[in-house]
Amino acid sequence: MSAEESADEGNDEEGPGLTEGVERSSGDPKVLLAMNAVLSSWFAWVVVWGLDLLGAATLTAVNVATLAIVLFGVTYLAVLR
Protein backbone atom coordinates (compact mmCIF):
# COMPACT_ATOMS: atom_id res chain seq x y z
CA MET A 1 0.00 0.00 0.00
CA SER A 2 1.45 3.34 -1.03
CA ALA A 3 1.37 6.50 1.05
CA GLU A 4 -1.06 8.01 -1.45
CA GLU A 5 -3.53 5.14 -1.02
CA SER A 6 -3.35 5.34 2.76
CA ALA A 7 -3.93 9.12 2.62
CA ASP A 8 -7.01 8.57 0.44
CA GLU A 9 -8.41 6.01 2.87
CA GLY A 10 -7.96 8.38 5.81
CA ASN A 11 -10.01 11.09 4.10
CA ASP A 12 -13.08 8.85 3.74
CA GLU A 13 -13.93 9.27 7.42
CA GLU A 14 -13.48 13.05 7.40
CA GLY A 15 -15.37 13.81 4.20
CA PRO A 16 -14.06 15.34 0.98
CA GLY A 17 -10.34 15.98 0.84
CA LEU A 18 -8.44 19.15 0.14
CA THR A 19 -7.83 18.20 -3.49
CA GLU A 20 -11.53 17.84 -4.18
CA GLY A 21 -12.23 21.22 -2.57
CA VAL A 22 -9.55 22.96 -4.57
CA GLU A 23 -10.75 21.42 -7.83
CA ARG A 24 -14.27 22.77 -7.22
CA SER A 25 -13.15 26.24 -6.10
CA SER A 26 -13.03 28.86 -8.83
CA GLY A 27 -11.46 31.59 -6.67
CA ASP A 28 -11.83 35.33 -7.04
CA PRO A 29 -10.19 36.64 -10.23
CA LYS A 30 -9.45 40.00 -8.58
CA VAL A 31 -7.28 38.27 -5.99
CA LEU A 32 -5.40 36.38 -8.70
CA LEU A 33 -4.82 39.58 -10.68
CA ALA A 34 -3.62 41.44 -7.58
CA MET A 35 -1.22 38.64 -6.65
CA ASN A 36 0.02 38.53 -10.24
CA ALA A 37 0.65 42.29 -10.23
CA VAL A 38 2.49 42.26 -6.90
CA LEU A 39 4.63 39.23 -7.69
CA SER A 40 5.41 40.44 -11.22
CA SER A 41 6.49 43.82 -9.86
CA TRP A 42 8.66 42.28 -7.17
CA PHE A 43 10.30 39.85 -9.59
CA ALA A 44 10.87 42.63 -12.12
CA TRP A 45 12.58 44.73 -9.45
CA VAL A 46 14.84 41.80 -8.50
CA VAL A 47 15.78 41.12 -12.14
CA VAL A 48 16.49 44.78 -12.94
CA TRP A 49 18.45 45.14 -9.69
CA GLY A 50 20.55 42.10 -10.67
CA LEU A 51 21.12 43.48 -14.15
CA ASP A 52 22.14 46.81 -12.62
CA LEU A 53 24.56 44.99 -10.35
CA LEU A 54 26.09 43.33 -13.41
CA GLY A 55 26.14 46.61 -15.32
CA ALA A 56 23.76 45.38 -18.02
CA ALA A 57 20.88 47.76 -17.23
CA THR A 58 20.08 50.73 -15.03
CA LEU A 59 17.80 50.36 -12.03
CA THR A 60 15.05 52.86 -12.85
CA ALA A 61 11.32 52.87 -12.26
CA VAL A 62 10.71 52.80 -16.01
CA ASN A 63 12.78 49.65 -16.48
CA VAL A 64 11.11 47.92 -13.54
CA ALA A 65 7.62 48.94 -14.68
CA THR A 66 8.27 47.82 -18.26
CA LEU A 67 9.48 44.40 -17.19
CA ALA A 68 6.64 44.09 -14.66
CA ILE A 69 4.05 44.80 -17.36
CA VAL A 70 5.64 42.24 -19.68
CA LEU A 71 5.77 39.63 -16.92
CA PHE A 72 2.18 40.38 -15.89
CA GLY A 73 0.98 39.98 -19.48
CA VAL A 74 2.85 36.73 -20.09
CA THR A 75 1.64 35.26 -16.81
CA TYR A 76 -1.92 36.35 -17.49
CA LEU A 77 -1.94 34.77 -20.93
CA ALA A 78 -0.23 31.57 -19.79
CA VAL A 79 -2.12 30.90 -16.57
CA LEU A 80 -5.37 32.77 -16.33
CA ARG A 81 -6.65 32.41 -19.88
pLDDT digits (tens, 9 = 90+) for 43-79: 999 999 999 999 999 999 999 999 999 999 999 999 8
pTM of the entire structure? 0.67
Q: For residues 19 and 11, give the distance between their C-alpha atoms in angstroms, rounded to a whole number.
A: 11
Q: For residues 16 and 11, give the distance between their C-alpha atoms in angstroms, rounded to a whole number.
A: 7
Number of domains the chain contains: 1
Distant-in-sequence, close-in-space partners of 8: CB < 8 Å, separation ≥ 6: 17
Where in the sequence is the domain holding 34, given as residue range(s)? 3-80
| CA distances from residue 39 to 20, 43, 57, 72 in whole angstroms, order as listed | 27, 6, 21, 9
pLDDT digits (tens, 9 = 90+) for 19-48: 776 666 677 889 989 999 999 999 999 999
Q: For residues 21 and 4, give the distance between their C-alpha atoms in angstroms, rounded to a whole number.
A: 17
